Amino acid sequence: MSLRGYSFHLVKANQEADTKKNIGVLLGRVCIDTDVPVSKVAKYFKVSRMTVYSWFVGKSVPHKNKAEKIKKLLDKLLPHAEV
């Protein structure tokens, strides 16, 4: 795992967050592992970078329409994972 674009604090918070309760945390794990910048995620989902950071660490849950879009994206990226 590369930490190039993410702080140690964010990575640790993401690892400690529950992916079963928040699909945003799972998205965060994928983005951290693949070094996808938060700015790209924010632009793709049309939200602020702060919102993305909150999803990644489990502080907030994506609204239903965003959660559905995240699920579709993760289904494509992780076809054999249970999302």
In a domain, 41, yes or no: yes
pLDDT digits (tens, 9 = 90+) for 54-81: 999 999 999 999 999 999 999 998 876 6
Q: Measured between alpha carbons, how far apart are the two ends of the chain, in Å? A: 21
φ/ψ of residue 74, rounded to 5 = -65, -35
Q: How many domains does the chain have?
A: 1
In a domain, 82, yes or no: no
Distance CA 26, CA 15 (A): 9
pLDDT digits (tens, 9 = 90+) for 11-42: 999 999 998 889 999 999 999 999 999 999 99
Burial classification of residue 74, based on how many CB atoms lie within 10 Å of its CB (0-12 exposed, 13-18 middle, 19 or more buried): middle
Question: Domain span at residue 52?
Answer: 8-77
In a domain, 30, yes or no: yes
The pLDDT value recorded for residue 5 is 80
In a domain, 3, yes or no: no
The pLDDT value recorded for residue 77 is 84
The H-assigned helical ranges of 1-83 are 8-16, 23-34, 38-45, 49-57, 64-77
